[in-house]
Amino acid sequence: MFGRRFADLLLFCVTVTELVILFLLTPTFTITDWIYVLQHFIVLGIALTRRGPKVWDYSIVSSIAVGIAYAYPYAQVIYLRWSPGHVAWPAAGLVLVTLAASLSLVSLLAIGRLFGVRPALRGLATSGPYRFVRHPMYLSYVVADIGYNLQEWNSVTLLLVLVGWASLVYRIHAEERVLSQHAEWPAYVVLVRYRLFPGLW
């Protein structure tokens, strides 16, 4: 019980910290930024009301992967302020970032109180975008990374994205090891064949 409450408190505190950083690093807010703000407030509510997991993965490797997932987007922003990058295709980047924010919000609403940052089994989300790929929220992260780097990039941001994607792939495998203990998982995997990219993987 203490471990569960600590995890919920940690999620709440980290989300509040992210909100503060978001407001500090964003000079003017676009619709995309407000979508992310809304998501953070939803996560705050989830942290206060979600059920405890039946199974969870608190391994060191999973903890590192979660830490990388939280850190690498902010590391890109901070590095670009220190060393500006190259502008590639800002308009396309903005479109991708907006699509990613929308997909992330829809995925969060679909998963609801089953949401967590560590691999854990609280239930199985199968509605909304989870009918098409098994990890739509992670797909939104990939699309957002591409979009942000189309707006501005350099060799360091590309390296950070690759590290972030490696942690994402690990988290997918770790989560599926835990979710495979759900009674409905085998049927879900047959119905939704792809983890991240429809038709590919």
Is the pLDDT at 1 greater than 80, yes or no? no
Is the pLDDT at 4 greater than 80, yes or no? no
Question: Is-above-0.75 flag for pTM?
Answer: yes
Per DSSP, helices labelled H in 30-89 are 31-49, 60-82
pLDDT tens digits, one per residue of 60-103? 999 999 999 989 998 998 899 899 999 999 999 999 999 999 99
pLDDT tens digits, one per residue of 48-57? 999 889 898 9
**What average pLDDT does the chain have?**
93
H/E segment holding residue 150: helix 136-151
Number of domains in the chain: 1
- The SS3 call for residue 5 is helix
For residue 19, being part of any structural domain is answered with no
Domain limits for position 74: 57-191
For residue 45, being part of any structural domain is answered with no
Rounded to whole angstroms, the Cα distance separating 179 from 15 reads 24
What pLDDT does residue 156 have? 96
For residue 200, being part of any structural domain is answered with no
What pLDDT does residue 51 have? 86
Rounded to whole angstroms, the Cα distance separating 98 from 129 reads 16
